[in-house]
Amino acid sequence: MKLPLCPYCGARFLYPDVRKAQNENRGVCPHCGKIFRIFGRAGRFVLYAVSALLLIGINLCLMKLPSANLTVLLVVTILGVAVVRLLIPYTIRYGPL
Ligand SMILES: [Zn+2]
């Protein structure tokens, strides 16, 4: 998994820039000024699906521990969702219009 590159000039984008534009359809490259298409819904779907299965698996394992309670499971799930949200920019791709 890596951050997207400009499809025209190959410029790299910083994580905050990608994150800010992750729900947009179009973006402008600050290096070459060209407009590109933002996509990656498929990658995001795979990320959600894989992480949901992982979280369910982790929760099932935790439930077997004698010290586990609902708070522990909830915290683990919230942390997992937070991590997944941080990973979304890595599923974004930029393509030519
Ligand atoms: Zn560019």
Note down the domain range covering 33.
15-96
pTM of the model as a whole: 0.83
Tell me what pLDDT residue 3 has. 95
Domain annotation covers residue 44: yes
Domain annotation covers residue 58: yes
Please return the burial class of 3, using the count of CB atoms within 10 Å of its CB with bins 0-12, 13-18 and 19+.
middle
Tell me what pLDDT residue 68 has. 82
Question: For residue range 15-74, what is the model confidence (pLDDT) as tens digits?
Answer: 999 999 999 999 999 999 999 999 998 999 999 999 999 999 999 999 998 888 899 999
Domain annotation covers residue 83: yes
Interval between CA 44 and ligand 1 midpoint (Å): 23
Domain annotation covers residue 49: yes
Interval between CA 18 and ligand 1 midpoint (Å): 14
Confidence band of 1 (pLDDT split at 50, 70, 90): confident
Interval between CA 52 and ligand 1 midpoint (Å): 35
Domain annotation covers residue 9: no
Interval between CA 85 and ligand 1 midpoint (Å): 26
The domain tally of the chain equals 1
Interval between CA 26 and ligand 1 midpoint (Å): 13
Tell me what pLDDT residue 95 has. 96
Domain annotation covers residue 64: yes
Domain annotation covers residue 1: no
Does 9 have pLDDT greater than 80? yes
Domain annotation covers residue 66: yes
Tell me what pLDDT residue 84 has. 94
